[in-house]
Amino acid sequence: VNSSLAHEAFIAATQARSGSSSRRLQGPQTMYRMLDFSVAYELRDATIRAGLLQHRIIRLIGGFERELRRIPEWKEFCASVFEGDRPMCDPGMSLINYALPSLNISRGTVVPLSISPNGQGRDVLLMQAVEHFLQQNGVQDILLPKD
């Protein structure tokens, strides 16, 4: 995924630079810089059966990730990202976003019309539902270990 994104960014930047004019003294050119920021979690007690997928742990990690996104420098950085890519910065790509999605419920109903994987939800989804949601969005191989 990262290599294909970098390749697409390189192609887009190259095409943007090779405009109709071949003059060297052109106006400012937009160039792209690819940055990845990863956070990995590890339990102190590896003997806990459910591991990181316990509802209590998911809520703790969700709170941490929400606080991270509230940092002024994080907000400033995300505001500088190309508009179409901003969802990759905020809320970002995280298993927690899928485990704690916002439920979009119409007034007078109890069944959600849709769910948004943004980590802002109150209730943790069952892991089977999270796995289905990840598969449906094509991110299971990115967010879950293969074994």
Distance in angstroms (rounded) separating the CA atoms of residues 31 and 10:
9
Residue 30 included in any domain: no
CA distances in angstroms from 27 to 30, 59, 80, 83, 140, listed in the order given: 10, 49, 20, 22, 42
Residue 21 belongs to some domain of the structure: no
pTM given for the model: 0.71
Condensed to tens digits (0 to 9), the pLDDT of residues 3-50 reads 667 777 777 777 766 555 555 666 666 677 778 888 888 888 777 777
* Residue 39: inside a domain: no
Domain of residue 74, residue span: 45-147
Domain-embedded: residue 4: no
Say if 7 falls within a structural domain.
no
